[in-house]
Amino acid sequence: MAAEPTDERVVEVASEAAEGVVLSRYRQADLVDFDVTITFEDGVLEVDVYVNPPADADADADEVADEAARAARDAVDELFGE
């Protein structure tokens, strides 16, 4: 039986997934600001994604943030499913 991932590994995997979604929609240099905050304590994953895109961005910031949060949760589900 495989060992459970550490809390740090869970946060790392979730952060990478969320950031990957944001950076696939916007060039990092064009973003006004973005922040991904992940916590994993007592088996509870909390994901908060904030995106402030440039004024002329095509992608909707709220939709991208929601997609990034879902990607983070999916990545953690996959991590525990290995």
- How confident is the model over 10-34, as pLDDT tens digits? 999 999 999 999 999 999 999 999 9
pLDDT above 90: residue 82: no
Question: How many separate domains does the chain show?
Answer: 1
24 within some domain: yes
For the stretch 49-80, pLDDT in tens is: 999 999 999 999 999 999 999 999 999 999 99
Please count the other Cβ atoms lying within 10 Å of the Cβ belonging to residue 23: 13
pTM for the complete prediction?
A: 0.92
pLDDT above 80: residue 1: no
What band does 2 get if pLDDT is binned at 50, 70 and 90? low
- CATH (domain of 42): 3.30.300.100
71 within some domain: yes
Q: What residues make up the domain containing 63? A: 7-81
What band does 3 get if pLDDT is binned at 50, 70 and 90? confident
* b/e 46-76 (16+ beta carbons within 10 angstroms → b): ebebebebeeebeeebeebbebbbebbeebb
Q: List beta partners, residue 35.
A: 50
34 within some domain: yes
Q: Which of 73, 68, 70, 82 is nearest to 25 (CA)?
A: 68
1 within some domain: no
11 within some domain: yes
2 within some domain: no
